[in-house]
Amino acid sequence: MKKVWYKRPSYWIWIWICSVLAVLLVLINVATFYVVHRTCYPSTSTASIENTDTTSKSGKDTVTVNHKAYKYFTINQSDNSWSYADIKFNKVAIYKLAQEHKEIGDDDKKANCLIVVNMTVKANKDIEIFPDQGTISTNNSLQGDTTYTADFGDSIDSGVTRTGDVTIPLDGVKNISDLKKLRYKFDGGAKDDNDESDDAFKIIDVQINLN
């Protein structure tokens, strides 16, 4: 009587079956990791930033740059030193660019890194505030000017809350892990030019700790 295939003494059949099962298991694990990773973390292939200067050389509203490293910080840090507005820094994303750009940003600065600060401004009075015209310096003596924002840079009426991103090109960053602290400075002021209170004009100067 002819033996069925699984009772034959040929070990290669079982070796073949085990190999196929092992390959399938590896593929399932890889697919699972990929799905979970993409769900929990943004893509690290490109960083898109908005350019509000429509007269720039690129002539585009969006600039996309490749980056080779990315790190995301949840900050939840508030600054209430100005009675005219409550300011909260929510998140910071840092992109280490795949290559150094000689001209990036509204002022064509050289940069090999982008810092994106997500912040919220709640106006307690009619104000003008300019996070897009500030500077950021780092704990390792680097400094960059804010250059991209579609969310701030003008008047905010009393009682209005606005949340958005400000992007700062930075040059000379070797590793994202070298950045431990950011000093962010920008101006704010009362919208009413006749307001002569001591607090009518404010330089926001805050230390953002990257944990």
Tens digit of each residue's pLDDT (9 = 90 or more) over 161-171: 999 888 888 99
The pLDDT of residue 106 is 60
Mean pLDDT of 130-149: 87
Closest listed residue to residue 126, CA positions, set 81, 187, 191, 202: 191
With 80 as the cut, is the pLDDT of residue 15 above it?
A: no
Residue 13: pLDDT band with limits 50, 70, 90:
low
Contact criterion met (CB below 8 Å) for 175 and 211: no
The answer to whether the CB of 171 falls within 8 A of the CB of 109 is yes
* Secondary structure of the chain in HEC code, one letter for each residue: CCCCHHHCCCHHHHHHHHHHHHHHHHHHHHHHHHHHHHHHCCCCCEEEEECCCCCCCCCCCEEEEEEEEEEEEEEEEEECCCCCEEEEEEEEEEEEEEEEEEEECCCCEEEEEEEEEEEEEEECCCEEEEEEEEEEEECCCCEEECCECCCCCCEECCCCEEEEEEEEEECCCCCHHHCCEEEEEEEEEECCCCCCCCCCEEEEEEEEECC
Per-residue pLDDT averaged across 102-119, rounded?
A: 79
Residue 21 has pLDDT above 90, yes or no: no
Q: pLDDT at residue 1 above 60?
A: no
For residues 18-24, average pLDDT: 74
Q: What is the pLDDT of residue 190?
A: 94
Query: pLDDT band for position 65 (50/70/90)?
Result: low
Q: Is the pTM of this model over 0.85?
A: no
